[in-house]
Amino acid sequence: MAIANQYGYYTEDYREFVITDPRTPRPWFNYMWNSQYAGLISHTGGGFSFLESPRDNRISRMRYNCLPWDRPGRYVMVKDSATGKYWSLSWAPTIDLKYDFYECRHGQGYTKITTEINGIRGEITYFVPTDTNAEVWRVKLTELSGQTRDLEIYSFLELLMGNALNDQINQPNDKHFTDIHFDRELQALVATRRYWVLNKGVSVKQPNIDWKYQIYFSQNLPIAGFDSSLDTFIGRWRSEANPLAVETGVMQNMEITAGDPVVALQSKISLAAHSAVDFAVTLEIAPKEIPPLNKGGKFSSPPLLRGAGGDLSLEIIDRQFAQLRQKWDDHLSCVQVQTPDEAFNAMINVWNQYQAAVTFDMARNSGYYHGGLLFGTGMRDRFQDILGVVMVDPVRVRERLIKALNFQFKDGSTLHNYFVLTNTGERTNHSDTPLWIPFGIVEYLKETGDFSILEEVVPYHDETSGSVYEHLVRALDFAIANTGERGMPRIFTGDWNDTLDHVGAQGKGETTWGAFFLGYVLKKSLPVCEQQGDRAALDRFQKFYEHLRQVTNDVCWDGEWYLRAFRDNGEPIGVSSATQGKIFLNAQSWAVISELAPSDRADKAMASSREYLATPFGMQIVAPSFTEIDDTVGLISRCVPGKKENGAVFNHASSWFVLASILNGDTEFAWDIYRRMMPINSSQATEAKCDRFETEPYVYPEYVTSPDHETQGQASHSWLTGTAVWMLRIGIDYILGFQPTFTGMIIDPKIPSEWTGFTAKRKFRGKTLSLTVTNHSEVKQMTVNGEIVEGKFIDPAKYEGEEIAIAVHL
Ligand code: GLC
């Protein structure tokens, strides 16, 4: 049974989301990327590309905050020479035309758009090969009208080449360094820039650095004309929708040494009745020092999209595509489930795993709502985003963790965010940021059992170096050393909630959530200290955990829930006596997750959350939202009520509530909230039709507007959110019940009573755990390979064979 909304549906195997009506409420995106080259691609061919860093090394342009949306893009236009009619194969930018058919299939790492118009079927598949820095637009045109057709084909892409922030603020100067020529032997446009801004901020300094890359833009049809000047290709007072060159059929064959760059190629073909033509448009990029791509010459070794003679090879390109499909088959095979809930299956088997992989590589830094100009990689995001990929690729996760530890200082504190290409970032003093280090390392250890990572020596950002274990301990000690007069963490410029930035800006305010979070991380780190034989740290951390239990329960209990924080002046926020921001969700969820709340208070805190914070779309982060500006709290109170951190259903926080609810024994309500949050559900619910939800129905958005705003149900900031990994891991670890520990796996499913059972496969340390769960069984027991086992724990290493059959009767 297909799951659908009015704009599209999931295929039977959930591997593609098929958009059937291009007039979606927002552009709906996908990603295509490998470890260096990355691009966003919308269902209309929009989006931009970059190499390594979306700020410092942007390849193609995106126009921010512009109308019409989602421009420019990766466009291939076809023109019928006889009639003069022309159209785009991706619908945009020629959106005013009447297409006979439109369909966009977003899959893992590729997007395929099919259109039919003027008797031509166009199929265009965009992807980035797994191991070469390039993008491919693979095209097939089929003649449908039964007549021979003379067609002109125009492929074009507006380039940026370099620093995208500088392009926004200094383009009139920046454009004097572009350089594009047509290589006749190659029949390709070769583009570069003689200048690269790599200074980290907005600055008038003009660094004297070369952009060290060269772009090759090719189309493997005979080339009839080209252009590289945006001005001449598009023409005066025109747009991508009606380029002068396409309208007149005359390319200027312009090679530019200055100006706004476009790579545009024209081909002319004759297509016999009912026949088809296959070709590819490619953008390849290589460092300048590599000998120029020429026939028979070397490009990247081996020239991955090209045959021996140096020409693009469709056979190689199609093999690259098959390799990409295989990569995702392998990735997704790590977890496969069959439950009675289709939306859950679609998310866990495909889209949630996929979204988590996207966040692992894009951080919060390259999306339609995350323009890639500001933030780089967030430290706290980095150490959470590993949760999705560590099951699949622990080697890359290990590398990432170690690299990120370079941004920790000797005293245990960290930069808040960093940029990989410039090795810089900002120190903001968010109180929780360093604590995500131990959080992430513990998760890595639980998945892999690879304690050798702890011995690895990593430099601190300021001076000296220390083992990974030392980095972990220093983060915890830094947090302990930065507690305030009550003995709870000082909040400084914010904790996980960035918008509580004035609660403790003077250094005195303290955070309850931060206390629970510190408690949680301390507790989770204890076995690591034990394994290292570090008695002193073990004692210190154990004592501090108990101290946090004492203090939070002495000073943070408001009667029906835990208050959220104390201001610099000592006044609490998140209390029942307040007129706004009375109850904050995270202080309740983490009281439970940290196991610092006694059970009666845990129950009460959960019940209060349910009473005051539940909405049709998930849990509201705070209620009532702030309606008056309060400078002693911060940005939260300046944000419109019902959106973002000011009272939206902030999905990351809502997911933590789901976890807390399961841990506190209320699986039914946890599942109810989990289900409301799944994007295909929120975008179908009667209260929130897809048109209101707006963002992609296949990935979690950062937030959904709560009933505190008239646009309730409207989502924003899709794709790049910590929600992805948490919903994935709560689904796999707690609902399905695969909980990795340092020594093995606890199997402890917590499923809604309406489920009769489920089956699931989960790869773990070289084995496949094949789980069958039946609900409402008479005898409650677990068997492993047919034998009854006591308890819920198994050590997979003790069993022979690759697959271990586990049956649980609940
Ligand atoms: C955004 C940030 C994340 C922060 C959250 C809450 O999602 O990326 O780091 O914790 O907002 O403010």
What CATH code is carried by the domain that includes residue 391? 1.50.10.10
Of the three residues 288, 304, 330, the one that is the final residue of a domain is 330
pTM higher than 0.85 = yes
Looking at the structure, do residues 393 and 468 belong to the same domain, yes or no? yes
301 pLDDT higher than 50 = no
Mean pLDDT of 288-308: 63
Banded pLDDT at 295 (limits 50, 70, 90): low
Dihedral sign for Cα atoms in the order 652, 653, 657, 662: positive
- Examine residue 86 and state whether it is found in any structural domain, yes or no: yes
The number of the ligand 1 atom at minimal distance from the alpha carbon of 499 is 12
**For residue range 197-247, what is the model confidence (pLDDT) as tens digits?**
987 667 788 788 999 999 999 999 999 999 999 999 999 999 999 999 999
Looking at the structure, do residues 311 and 349 belong to the same domain, yes or no? no
Residue 339's pLDDT is: 98
**For residue range 624-662, what is the model confidence (pLDDT) as tens digits?**
999 999 999 999 999 999 999 999 999 999 999 999 999
Pocket of ligand 1 (CB under 6 A): 364, 378, 380-381, 496-499, 645, 702, 721
- Examine residue 156 and state whether it is found in any structural domain, yes or no: yes
Helix (H, G, I), strand (E, B) or coil at 745: strand
Q: Per DSSP, what are the bridge partners of residue 758?
A: 773
- Examine residue 628 and state whether it is found in any structural domain, yes or no: yes
Of the three residues 305, 330, 355, the one that is the final residue of a domain is 330
Banded pLDDT at 107 (limits 50, 70, 90): very high
> Tokens representing 111?
């997007």
* 722 CA from centroid of ligand 1 (Å): 8
- Examine residue 300 and state whether it is found in any structural domain, yes or no: yes
Looking at the structure, do residues 214 and 282 belong to the same domain, yes or no? yes
Residue 292's pLDDT is: 59
**Bridge pairing between strands 29-33 and 37-42:** antiparallel
Domain containing 776 — which CATH number?
2.60.420.10
Query: Rounded distance, CA 124 to CA 640, Å?
Result: 41
Of the three residues 676, 702, 734, the one that is the final residue of a domain is 734
Residue 302's pLDDT is: 44
Looking at the structure, do residues 536 and 614 belong to the same domain, yes or no? yes
Query: Rounded distance, CA 152 to CA 225, Å?
Result: 11
Looking at the structure, do residues 405 and 286 belong to the same domain, yes or no? no
Looking at the structure, do residues 63 and 198 belong to the same domain, yes or no? yes
The number of the ligand 1 atom at minimal distance from the alpha carbon of 380 is 9
Looking at the structure, do residues 309 and 346 belong to the same domain, yes or no? no
* 372 CA from centroid of ligand 1 (Å): 15
CB 509 within 8 A of CB 484: yes
Looking at the structure, do residues 436 and 345 belong to the same domain, yes or no? yes
Q: Per DSSP, what are the bridge partners of residue 701?
A: 718
**Least confidently predicted of 63-67, 202-206, 313-317, 593-597:** 202-206
The number of the ligand 1 atom at minimal distance from the alpha carbon of 721 is 7
- Examine residue 507 and state whether it is found in any structural domain, yes or no: yes
* Residues contacting 46, CB < 8 A, separation 6+: 27, 40, 62, 69, 70, 71, 72, 73, 74, 92
426 pLDDT higher than 70 = yes
Q: Does the N-terminal peptide bond of residue 68 adopt cis geometry, omega within 30 degrees of 0? A: yes
Residue 780's pLDDT is: 96
303 pLDDT higher than 60 = no
- Examine residue 7 and state whether it is found in any structural domain, yes or no: no
Banded pLDDT at 378 (limits 50, 70, 90): very high
**For residue range 471-485, what is the model confidence (pLDDT) as tens digits?**
999 999 999 999 999
CB 746 within 8 A of CB 793: yes
- Examine residue 5 and state whether it is found in any structural domain, yes or no: no
The beta-carbon contacts of 84-90 under 8 Å, at least 24 apart in sequence, are 84/247, 85/118, 86/152, 86/154, 86/246, 86/247, 87/115, 87/117, 87/118, 88/45, 89/45, 89/113, 89/115, 89/122, 89/123, 89/124, 89/139, 90/44, 90/45, 90/115, 90/124
The number of the ligand 1 atom at minimal distance from the alpha carbon of 494 is 12
Looking at the structure, do residues 673 and 784 belong to the same domain, yes or no? no
Token pair 């210190």 is found at 540
Find the helix packing angle between 468-481 and 436-448, rounded to 10°.
140
The number of the ligand 1 atom at minimal distance from the alpha carbon of 375 is 8
* 497 CA from centroid of ligand 1 (Å): 6
Banded pLDDT at 687 (limits 50, 70, 90): very low
Neighbours of 129 (CB within 10 A): 24
309 pLDDT higher than 90 = no
Counted domains in the chain: 3
Q: Where are the beta strands (DSSP E) in 665-774?
A: 701-704, 715-718, 738-740, 745-747, 757-764, 767-774
- Domain around 730: 333-734
Name the residue with higher pLDDT: 378 or 208: 378
Residue 288's pLDDT is: 85
Query: Rounded distance, CA 694 to CA 712, Å?
Result: 11
Query: Which of 415, 498, 723 gets mutated to test ligand 1 (max ligand atoms within 8 A of its CB)?
Result: 498
Mean pLDDT of 13-42: 97
Residue 783's pLDDT is: 98
Domain containing 38 — which CATH number?
2.70.98.40
Looking at the structure, do residues 177 and 235 belong to the same domain, yes or no? yes
Nearest protein CA to atom 8 of ligand 1, as residue: 364
- Examine residue 805 and state whether it is found in any structural domain, yes or no: yes
Distances (CA, A) of 783 to 209, 537, 755, 763, 809: 65, 39, 20, 18, 9
290 pLDDT higher than 80 = no
Residue 293's pLDDT is: 59
Closest listed residue to residue 500, CA positions, set 429, 417, 395, 405: 429
Looking at the structure, do residues 490 and 341 belong to the same domain, yes or no? yes
Residue 685's pLDDT is: 53
297 pLDDT higher than 60 = no
Strand order across the beta sheet in which 701-704 lies? 649-650, 701-704, 715-718
Helices (H), 78-177: 164-174
Looking at the structure, do residues 695 and 747 belong to the same domain, yes or no? no
Query: Rounded distance, CA 697 to CA 695, Å?
Result: 6
